[in-house]
Structure 1
Amino acid sequence: QYTIDQIRPQPDGTPSKIKVKVHLNRHGIFAITQASIVDKNEESTEIAMDTKGGIEKTTVPNVPTTNEPTVESKTPAGNNQQDGDEDEDEDEPKKTTTKSKMKGIDLPIIVRVSGTTKQELDQLIEQEHEMISSDKREKERSDAKNAVEEYVYDMRGKLDGGEYERYSDERNRQRLLNDLRTTENWLYNQGMHQDKYAYVERLNALKNLGDPIRNRYYEAENRQYYMQDFIKSLKQIEDAIQIWQTKSSDKYSHIDKSDIEKVYRILTEKRKWYDQTANRFNTLRQHEDPAVLCAQIKQERDALERECWNILNKPKPKADLPKDTSADGSRRQAPPSDGKQQQNQSQPPPPSSSGKKLSSSKKQSQQPNTQQSSMETD
């Protein structure tokens, strides 16, 4: 939105003309870039008219020239003639003309983008925050109500003829069932539009009676699994000690006897703890809370494996390199004994084939000489 300010009428009361420059960019956005008011000023001028010829007469001042010298006239007649001319000029009629001048004056442009003010924007932001908080509170309230409803239906189905029934005595079971029915009736009557904390309080009251039953069921279902893992770890460590004692394998032969005794002592303590815990479980009733939980069984098993296998899994010491082996692993040949070396030096080298050829060539070269000497004697 564009507003052109400081628009005023003309001095004579007529409306003023406003000139604006608009711009339309390639995106189709319209904008006013300049605005100006046209100010009209009128100026009046008088023009003398010649009554004789009806021709306008303009007065041009006499300017002396350099060709004609100026002569001052001192005669009174000349003065009278000049005065007569001035009187004639005063008696001539004059015409008044009016000229108007147009002048543009820039006007301020106030641009207002469609939107809200800062105060309105702050109010809207505050309202938005309030709505977000309200939605969050409503969601938390609805989730708390649904949690109570879900717990009521789930616990009642498992406690009345379900898997939780044998893990609770009759008195506590009937008490919890009555509380579940009461809570269900409250949800669909007085508790339809309660706040979050009312539902949380109801749920905690039900869990105080229901969670011990659920925990006993979980412990009974998973106890056998953890006990089997514990006895399996005991058996593996016992087999490792048996291998060391019988020397059936060199896997643990590098372990000292003191370390094996330490492992055996830990194994004995953990087996004793396992036997005591198993006896407790054998005498435990289903509706009673166990003295040892599954998490404790897992913790004892982890401690057994950590302490024993840290000793049994010690790496073997590295074997020393033999003396007749070089650094790169290749064997060096032993030097020959002194007797063989002297025997080799005393024996002459065997004749080569080239030597035989040389001796035969010498014999052949000597034979012609003997023949030649015999021929000369004859």
Structure 2
Amino acid sequence: MSVVGFDLGFQSCYVAVARAGGIETVANEYSDRCTPSFVSYGPRNRSIGAAAKSQVVSNCQNTVQGFKQFHGRAFSDPYVQAAKSNLVYDLAQLPSGSTGIKVMYMEEERVFSIEQVTGMLLTKLKETAESAMKKPVVDCVISVPSYFTDPERRSVMDAAQIAGLNCLRLMNDSTAVTLAYGIYKQDLPAPEEKPRIVLFVDVGHSGYQVSVCAFNKGKLKILATAFDPELGGKNFDNILVNHFCEEFGKKYKLDVKTKPRALVRLYQECEKLKRLMSANSSDLPLNIECFMNDIDVSGKLNRGQFEEMCAGLLAKVEGPLRSVMEQTKLKKEDIYAVEIVGGASRMPAIKERIGKFFGKELSTTLNADEAVARGCALQCAILSPAFKVREFSITDVVPYSISLKWNSAAEEGLRYELRQFLVKNVVPQASGESAKNKMQMDQRIRNSRLETAKIKKQKLKRWSKLVLTCKAITIEQQRTTSRENQPPQAKKPKVKTKTVELPIENKLHWQLPNDVLNLCVENEGKMIMQDKLEKERNDAKNYVEEYDTETWLYEDGEDQQKQVYIDKLGDLKQMGQPICERYMEANERPKAFEELGRQIQVYMKIVEAYKAKDELYDHLDELEVTRVDKQVKDAMVWMSSKMNQQNNQDLTLDPSSKSGRSMPRLSLQPVLSKPKPKVEPPKEEKTENGPVNGQEGTEEPCNSDTAKPAGTEQGTPEKSNLKWTLNNLFYLSFTSSPATCP
């Protein structure tokens, strides 16, 4: 079972998986752990991630980015209308009133919903996870900003379904960071002790989020959250772009915003300049060749000037910090640490203001880019029964309040944010009196609960959508019976309770209907198949190009079907494969002949040594050595013949012999490396009652010179025996047993 966490970022995404060794952030096909949040549409297929980002200049109007900000928003939303001016692609209104993206795909104009585009990006992230884990990925946890409203969250959930993912939970970015921080801490206070308070600041590309978390051993509790969606890396980029648009307009008379391609290039260069200014305080250049109308442009800026331009944005840094401190009633000295994450958190001006507010040095123990994805993967592991994770409870908060409002109309209504529930068939009693109604609401919110949520490892209840239903309506009809001459307090009135199920009409704004959602899933499957077919076609074309047929490829073969390339490659191989094989043989054959010649020389020397009765080989079997001698001589004759034949043959003809196939193999090592038989040294003879004649040691050797091994000396048994063994090992190899006295 897969356990995956997706950090679905505004500018880039990260994928973290749970393995036996822990949590790991995996790399994509470019060996990069960061996957750009880009989708590009072409005449034959889509490109997603790094491949799409590479087309942001050449195919700018059909390459979309930053679409995360449009989730759950109507096209008429003022935020959407204001954001249109900074986009190089077109937005359009869908029949439901929500926002869509207009592009050219498969040589026709298409309008995709935000859920579809995000689903395409999630499909790519899913493939990255599957490639890393070598198994299918279904269950996952996806991150969203803490300031996302309910419609925005439901929009992301729809996108996950389009990608074929079962999102177990949508997790706030700040909550994911706190989990990644706290679950590995071994020194947290005990549950009954005062908690450790840590403040987390996440400055991403699209927004600014702050949360205060209380840690105890085995649990965390989010005390408060605050945010500013208009304070992120993209806002600083916009200031730089507007500055240089104005400068180039005055200096070069260029209206940059009228040329989408030039605007995209300027955004890229401004982002690079912003990163450089984070590490350098000196003047830094910005140069773009052939920017517009074949004009090269240049400019320069330093960190001080940039911070002065961004003074309005930087002044907003303290607002969310002050907000969470007021919500929690904490003092600055109660904060144990201030942990900062997010790509834009590297800006010195932001870090300086946060540190100055709390009067302490900021902590950067977490990976600023990958902490959210790792936290999501940990949450997925906690929810998954396939992993055994340390018990760790998470208590989260929802930043938006809940309101219930009753209408005065005949049909009573229950309002929750942008949703409306109409309870029907509520009628008065037969007597005309109003009925007493009790509503039991079974509230199942899968990703962000209305009340404080404690997530524990238990059997997972999987709900596909956020559901709020009135489970039952209880109508209590009170009927009192009064008796004469009886005080009214004597008996309580009898109450008759009747429980009935009432129909409820659920109206959800910007939620994809089931039929539309199913159609999106079907279309995504078709586009995945089209991408696969186009990849196979391009691969077949590349294989043809390897045979150096550029003329045909750039003319008739520029745009052909896959089978045409396969047939062309087959025709080329009939002519080119023999040439390739002859070329390879011309390189490998000399090496093979050289190795065969070396083996022949080694074996011939051994055979000659045997014939000369060398003591090292006189134990070998004569018949086997004779057979070896014949094989070596045959191999030498064969090699000499083939080498002469090949030297007299043209290189355009097939070789007379092929390396590794027709060459003889001399497997003679087992025969020639047979070890000599071992001969055991003589054992000492002793009587049962001790040494003979009352003397220790071995028997006195006889005077025969042939019986006494060379170098044997009298002395202690241990010393003489050891010396006898070492000095006469070679001698004993050729002697059956040492001579002894009669």
Match of 2:529 in 1: 133
Within the alignment, does 1:185 sit opposite 2:185 as a pair?
no
Q: In structure 2, what residue type is equivalent to 1:108?
A: E
Shift of 1:102: 6.1
Q: Percent identity?
A: 25
**Partners of 1:17 and 1:295 in 2: CA distance:** 95
**Partners of 2:514 and 2:700 in 1: CA distance:** 102
Q: In structure 1, what residue type is equivalent to 2:529?
A: S
Greater strand share, structure number: 2
CA contact (8 A) 2:440 2:470 kept: yes
Shift of 1:39: 2.7
Match of 1:19 in 2: 438
**Partners of 1:137 and 1:185 in 2: CA distance:** 22
Q: Are residues 317 and 37 of structure 1, via their aligned partners in 2, closer, same or farther at CA, if it must alter by over 3 Å? A: same
Within the alignment, does 1:244 sit opposite 2:610 as a pair?
yes
**Partners of 2:531 and 2:599 in 1: CA distance:** 54
Match of 1:341 in 2: none
Match of 1:37 in 2: 475
Match of 1:256 in 2: 621
How many residues align? The count is 245
**Partners of 1:260 and 1:331 in 2: CA distance:** 45
Which of 639, 656, 661 is the matching residue for 1:291?
A: 656
- TM norm structure 2: 0.29
Match of 1:105, SS state, is: strand
Q: Are residues 148 and 232 of structure 1, via their aligned partners in 2, closer, same or farther at CA, if it must alter by over 3 Å? A: same
Shift of 1:294: 1.5
**Partners of 2:597 and 2:483 in 1: CA distance:** 133
Q: In structure 1, what residue type is equivalent to 2:535?
A: K
Runs of at least 5 residues in structure 2 that lack an aligned partner in the other structure: 1-418, 444-449, 455-465, 487-492, 687-695, 702-742
Structure 1 segment 144-159 matched on structure 2, within 5 A = 144-152=540-548
CA contact (8 A) 1:21 1:32 kept: yes
Which of 84, 108, 111 is the matching residue for 2:501?
A: 108
**Partners of 2:477 and 2:427 in 1: CA distance:** 10
Of 8-17 and 220-229, deviating more is 8-17
Match of 1:346 in 2: none
Q: Are residues 231 and 19 of structure 1, via their aligned partners in 2, closer, same or farther at CA, if it must alter by over 3 Å? A: same
Which of 574, 584, 587 is the matching residue for 1:208?
A: 574
Q: Are residues 126 and 110 of structure 1, via their aligned partners in 2, closer, same or farther at CA, if it must alter by over 3 Å? A: same
Q: In structure 2, what residue type is equivalent to 1:222?
A: E
Match of 1:165 in 2: none
Shift of 1:11: 1.9
Higher relative contact order, chain-length normalized (CA < 8 Å, sep 6+):
1
CA contact (8 A) 2:425 2:502 kept: no
Q: Are residues 219 and 314 of structure 1, via their aligned partners in 2, closer, same or farther at CA, if it must alter by over 3 Å? A: same
CA contact (8 A) 2:437 2:473 kept: yes
Shift of 1:144: 0.8
**Partners of 2:588 and 2:669 in 1: CA distance:** 26
Shift of 1:261: 0.9
Match of 1:267 in 2: 632
Q: In structure 1, what residue type is equivalent to 2:556?
A: W
- Deviations along 1:245-297, one digit per CA (max 9) or x if unpaired, are 2234x321211222211110111111111111111111111211112111225
Match of 2:427 in 1: 8
Match of 1:152, SS state, is: coil
Match of 1:314, SS state, is: coil
Which of 667, 670, 675 is the matching residue for 1:310?
A: 670
Q: In structure 1, what residue type is equivalent to 2:536?
A: E
| Rg larger for | 1
Match of 1:251, SS state, is: coil
Q: Are residues 227 and 20 of structure 1, via their aligned partners in 2, closer, same or farther at CA, if it must alter by over 3 Å? A: same
**Partners of 2:478 and 2:606 in 1: CA distance:** 117
CA contact (8 A) 1:325 1:331 kept: no
**Partners of 2:621 and 2:631 in 1: CA distance:** 16
Q: Are residues 145 and 240 of structure 1, via their aligned partners in 2, closer, same or farther at CA, if it must alter by over 3 Å? A: same
Q: Are residues 295 and 3 of structure 1, via their aligned partners in 2, closer, same or farther at CA, if it must alter by over 3 Å? A: farther
Q: In structure 1, what residue type is equivalent to 2:453?
A: H
Q: In structure 2, what residue type is equivalent to 1:290?
A: P
CA contact (8 A) 2:544 2:569 kept: yes
Of 236-245 and 118-127, deviating more is 118-127
Q: CA RMSD in A?
A: 4.2
- Deviations along 1:76-134, one digit per CA (max 9) or x if unpaired, are xxxxxxxxxxxxxxxxxxxxxxxx9764432337799x999999887766555444333
CA contact (8 A) 1:34 1:106 kept: yes
Match of 1:332 in 2: 698
Q: Are residues 37 and 230 of structure 1, via their aligned partners in 2, closer, same or farther at CA, if it must alter by over 3 Å? A: same
**Partners of 2:530 and 2:577 in 1: CA distance:** 32
Structure 1 segment 50-129 matched on structure 2, within 5 A = 103-108=496-501, 127-129=523-525
**Partners of 2:422 and 2:672 in 1: CA distance:** 92
Match of 1:52 in 2: none
Match of 2:535, SS state, is: helix
Runs of at least 5 residues in structure 1 that lack an aligned partner in the other structure: 48-57, 60-99, 154-179, 336-378
Q: Are residues 122 and 183 of structure 1, via their aligned partners in 2, closer, same or farther at CA, if it must alter by over 3 Å? A: closer
Within the alignment, does 1:279 sit opposite 2:644 as a pair?
yes
**Partners of 2:598 and 2:624 in 1: CA distance:** 22
**Partners of 1:243 and 1:126 in 2: CA distance:** 80
Q: In structure 1, what residue type is equivalent to 2:426?
A: I
Match of 1:19, SS state, is: strand
- TM norm structure 1: 0.53
**Partners of 1:117 and 1:331 in 2: CA distance:** 105
**Partners of 1:15 and 1:134 in 2: CA distance:** 62
Which of 598, 615, 625 is the matching residue for 1:232?
A: 598
Match of 1:294, SS state, is: coil
Q: Are residues 19 and 203 of structure 1, via their aligned partners in 2, closer, same or farther at CA, if it must alter by over 3 Å? A: same
Match of 1:186, SS state, is: coil
Match of 1:295, SS state, is: coil
Match of 2:548, SS state, is: helix
Shift of 1:26: 2.6
Shift of 1:202: 0.9
Shift of 1:6: 5.5
**Partners of 1:134 and 1:322 in 2: CA distance:** 85
CA contact (8 A) 2:478 2:496 kept: yes
Q: Are residues 138 and 103 of structure 1, via their aligned partners in 2, closer, same or farther at CA, if it must alter by over 3 Å? A: same
Q: In structure 2, what residue type is equivalent to 1:296?
A: R
CA contact (8 A) 2:471 2:501 kept: no
Shift of 1:184: 4.0
**Partners of 1:276 and 1:313 in 2: CA distance:** 29
**Partners of 1:316 and 1:108 in 2: CA distance:** 98
**Partners of 2:526 and 2:537 in 1: CA distance:** 16
**Partners of 2:513 and 2:698 in 1: CA distance:** 98
**Partners of 2:585 and 2:517 in 1: CA distance:** 59
CA contact (8 A) 1:4 1:108 kept: no
**Partners of 2:438 and 2:634 in 1: CA distance:** 105
Q: In structure 2, what residue type is equivalent to 1:107?
A: V
